[in-house]
């Protein structure tokens, strides 16, 4: 079953994170009452699972309000799951496609976060939905970047617009928009140079690309997705806060969830940034991207 395979993929990727959440679940199998000591222990275990300050306080408070002085029971875990789900549920899920003309998706993030790989995966995701996809190699900063995206585009059989390394990324974006419109592409995904949130000139460049794209295509960019590396846990949130100040992000791709124990950081990401997690990266392959489903995610965190 395709469905089963997908779900077990998420589950498999969450193996390390899951071991931390089983510590939370375990707490509800102990005998005793929901007293301060219990709540302190719950708080500690949520912290250990990288859930972050806000979400941890929120969950502990809600458990206190609902169950203080009651007998601890396994049923409470369903309550905790519901609360965690409610912290993740976002207004918009999936890609916000343009009503007509090309949908432009800009990708931003620090070096090595997983931008280019996520673009390849996203291109595949859109191609699976029968969209005509073009990618734009606007990371002209590093020599290998254009090459990397070229290789992906060849493998996927999707169109690429590029220029020499060191050329103006905004002009590549300009070119790509023109071609996407003229040749009726459905989706244009724009790669950008990895920048540290402290590199002001590169952050400005990002804004310039954005303005060029907006001028060329009405309503563009339809999505500005920030790629965060899940292995950096709470640090990823600090980075994201800076990006959010410079550029209007519309959502997050949380890459590299496989192989990290920090999958709990997703709760902090959502709360602190108030941005929906739209996709999760579960590996280095082109099919290792899944649309994010809060209910499924929380269920898988607690599965044995
Ligand atoms: N395990 C794993 N590795 C990933 C994932 N996404 C990206 N990577 C790897 O992370 C490294 C950096 O990725 P890249 O896309 O080049 O990052 P960029 O600098 O932001 O464009 C590469 O070795 C990728 O294969 C993921 O979801 N899981
Ligand atoms: Mg890259």
Q: Which CATH number belongs to the domain containing residue 111 in this structure?
A: 3.40.50.300
| Number of CB atoms found within 10 A of residue 66's CB | 13
Q: Which of 113, 117, 229, 288 to mutate to test the pocket of ligand 1 (most atoms within 8 A of CB)?
A: 117
Tens digit of each residue's pLDDT (9 = 90 or more) over 75-128: 999 999 999 999 988 776 789 999 999 999 999 998 899 999 999 999 999 999
Q: Which domain holds residue 115?
A: 103-294
Quick one: 135 and 238 in the same domain?
A: yes
Nearest CA to 195 out of 257, 146, 236, 239 is that of 239
Instruction: Give the distance (Å) from ligand 1 centre to CA of residue 117.
Output: 5
Residue of 201, 205, 204, 276 whose CA lies nearest to 240: 276
Q: Establish whether the linkage from the previous residue to 201 is cis, with ω within 30° of 0.
A: no
Q: Domain check: are 222 and 123 in the same one?
A: yes
Domain-embedded: residue 162: yes
Distance of CA 256 from the midpoint of ligand 1 (Å): 7
Residues 159 and 251 in one domain: yes
Find the residues whose C-beta lies inside 6 A of ligand 1. 109, 111-117, 194, 227, 255-256, 258-259, 281-284, 288
Q: Which of ligand 1's atoms lies nearest the C-alpha of 117?
A: 15
Q: Which of 114, 148, 266 to mutate to test the pocket of ligand 1 (most atoms within 8 A of CB)?
A: 114
Q: Show Cβ contacts of residue 212 under 8 Å, excluding neighbours closer than 6 positions.
A: 170, 173, 174, 177
Task: Express each pLDDT in 101-116 by its tens digit.
Answer: 999 999 999 889 999 9
Report if residue 248 sits inside a domain.
yes
Q: How many CB atoms lie within 10 A of CB 155?
A: 12
Verify that 120 and 257 share a domain, yes or no.
Answer: yes
Residue 139 CA, closest ligand 1 atom number: 21
Q: How far is the CA of 205 from the centre of ligand 2 (A)?
A: 15
Question: pLDDT band for position 1 (50/70/90)?
Answer: very low
* Pair 165, 270 in one domain: yes
Q: What is the pLDDT of residues 136-192, one digit of tens each?
A: 999 988 878 999 999 999 999 999 999 987 889 999 999 999 999 999 999 999 999
CA distance 117 to 59: 34
Q: What is the pLDDT of residue 6?
A: 52
- Contacts of range 141-146, beta carbons closer than 8 Å, 24 or more positions apart: 141/165, 141/166, 141/169, 141/193, 141/194, 141/202, 142/193, 142/194, 145/116, 145/191, 145/193
What angle is formed at CA 103 by the lines to CA 97 and CA 104, rounded to 5 degrees?
A: 125
Distance 140 CA to ligand 2 centre (A): 10
Q: Are 170 and 125 in contact (CB under 8 A)?
A: no
How many angstroms separate the CA atoms of 74 and 105, rounded? 44
The CATH number given to whatever domain includes residue 70 is 1.20.120.140
Least confident interval from 193-197, 240-244, 264-268: 193-197
Report which bound ligand comes closest to the CA of 138: 2
Q: In this structure, are residues 89 and 156 in contact, taking their beta carbons and an 8 Å threshold?
A: no
Alpha-carbon gap, residue 264 to 255, rounded angstroms: 13
Provide the domain count of the chain.
Answer: 2
Kindly state whether residues 127 and 80 are assigned to the same domain.
no
Q: How far apart are CA 15 and CA 3, in angstroms?
A: 19
SS3 292: coil
Cα–ligand 2 centroid distance for 145 (angstroms): 5
Angle between the N-to-C axes of helices 200-216 and 169-182, in degrees from 0 to 180, rounded to the nearest 10: 20
pLDDT, position 233 = 81
pLDDT of 281:
96
Both 84 and 138 in a single domain? no
Instruction: Answer yes or no: do 70 and 162 share one domain.
Output: no
Residue pair 254/270 in contact by the 8 Å Cβ criterion: no
Same domain membership, residue 159 and residue 256: yes
For the CA of 137, the nearest ligand: 2
pLDDT of residue 252: 94
Instruction: Assess if residue 96 is contained within a domain.
Output: no
Mean pLDDT, rounded, for 6-33: 89
Considering the domain boundaries, does residue 301 fall inside one?
no
Q: State the distance from the centre of ligand 1 to the C-alpha of 246, rounded, in angstroms.
A: 23
């Amino acid at each position: 079953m395709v469905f089963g395979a997908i779900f077990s993929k998420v589950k498999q990727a969450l193996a390390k994170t899951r071991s931390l959440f089983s510590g939370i679940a375990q707490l509800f199998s102990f005998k005793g009452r929901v007293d301060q000591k219990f709540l302190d222990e719950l708080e500690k275990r949520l912290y250990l699972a990288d859930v972050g300050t806000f979400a941890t306080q929120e969950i502990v408070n809600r458990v206190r309000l609902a169950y203080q002085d009651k007998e601890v029971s396994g049923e409470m875990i369903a309550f905790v799951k519901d609360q965690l789900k409610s912290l993740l549920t976002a207004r918009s899920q999936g890609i916000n496609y343009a009503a007509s003309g090309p949908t432009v998706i800009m990708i931003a993030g620090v070096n090595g976060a997983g931008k280019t790989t996520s673009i390849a995966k996203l291109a595949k995701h859109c191609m699976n939905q029968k969209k005509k996809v073009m990618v734009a190699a606007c990371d002209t900063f590093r020599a290998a970047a254009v090459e990397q995206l070229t290789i992906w585009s060849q493998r996927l059989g999707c169109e690429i617009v590029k220029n020499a390394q060191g050329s103006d990324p905004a002009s590549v974006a300009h070119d790509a928009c023109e071609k996407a419109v003229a040749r009726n592409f459905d989706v244009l995904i724009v790669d950008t140079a990895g920048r540290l949130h402290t590199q002001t000139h590169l952050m400005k460049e990002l804004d310039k690309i954005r303005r060029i794209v907006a001028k060329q295509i009405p309503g563009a960019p339809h999505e500005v997705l920030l790629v965060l590396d899940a292995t950096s846990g709470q640090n990823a949130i600090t980075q994201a806060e800076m990006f959010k100040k410079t550029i209007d992000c519309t959502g997050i791709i949380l890459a590299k969830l496989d192989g990290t124990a920090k999958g709990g950081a997703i709760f902090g990401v959502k709360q602190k940034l108030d941005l929906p997690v739209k996709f999760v990266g579960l590996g280095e392959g082109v099919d290792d991207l899944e649309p994010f489903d809060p209910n499924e995610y929380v269920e898988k965190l607690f599965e044995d």
